[in-house]
């Protein structure tokens, strides 16, 4: 099983910060991480990926998230504009809420009506 040596390691792990260690029949062996390598941080259960010379903890990169065959998160769309002044608050409020709901549907965060 591989393990990621955390920063400021002490004792037997001193000087191995950020390296991946593996237990072999000959004992622990350390290796430098490589671009795209992924490990799970055992103490937190969070995934880590070596990207651009550093470990990224808990970052997930994807074009969409699908659960049970349904997309629940997709690509980001344009921003929702803020309502501007006016005398008919109800119309602006409904338009703003409609835009928010539409954005949530577009992102797959809520079901379409």
The pLDDT value given to residue 86: 66
Same domain for 52 and 84? no
Strand partners, 30: 21
- What total of structural domains would you count in the chain? 2
Q: Are residues 89 and 73 in the same domain?
A: yes
Counting every residue written for the chain, the total comes to: 113
pLDDT score at 1? 66
* Per-residue model confidence (pLDDT) at position 36: 93
Q: Is 101 contained in some domain?
A: yes
Residue partners of 20: CB distance under 8 A and separation at least 6? 2, 3, 4, 5, 30, 31, 32, 33, 37, 39
Looking at the structure, tell me whether residues 50 and 71 fall in a common domain. Answer: no
Show the domain range for 73.
65-106
| Domain contains 113 | no
CA distances 1 to 4, 22, 29, 100, Å, are 10, 6, 11, 46
Distance CA 98, CA 46 (A): 36
> Are 48 and 13 found together in one domain?
yes
Residues lower than pLDDT 70 in the chain: 1, 80, 82-87, 113
For residue 73, what are the CA distances in angstroms to 38, 88, 94?
Answer: 23, 34, 24
Q: Has residue 15 been placed in a domain? A: yes
- pTM for the model: 0.57
CA distance 96 to 65: 26
Rounded CA gap, 54 and 31, in Å? 14
62 SS3 class: coil
């Amino acid at each position: 099983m591989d393990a990621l040596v955390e920063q400021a390691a002490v004792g037997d792990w001193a000087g191995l910060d950020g390296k991946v260690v593996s237990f072999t029949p000959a004992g622990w062996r350390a290796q430098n991480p490589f671009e795209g390598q992924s490990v799970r941080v055992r103490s937190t259960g969070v995934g880590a990926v070596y990207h651009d010379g550093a470990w990224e903890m808990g970052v997930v990169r994807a074009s969409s998230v699908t659960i049970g065959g349904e997309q629940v998160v997709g690509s980001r769309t344009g921003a929702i504009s803020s309502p501007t002044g006016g005398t008919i608050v109800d119309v602006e409020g409904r338009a703003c809420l409609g835009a928010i709901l539409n954005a949530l549907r577009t992102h797959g965060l809520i079901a379409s009506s």
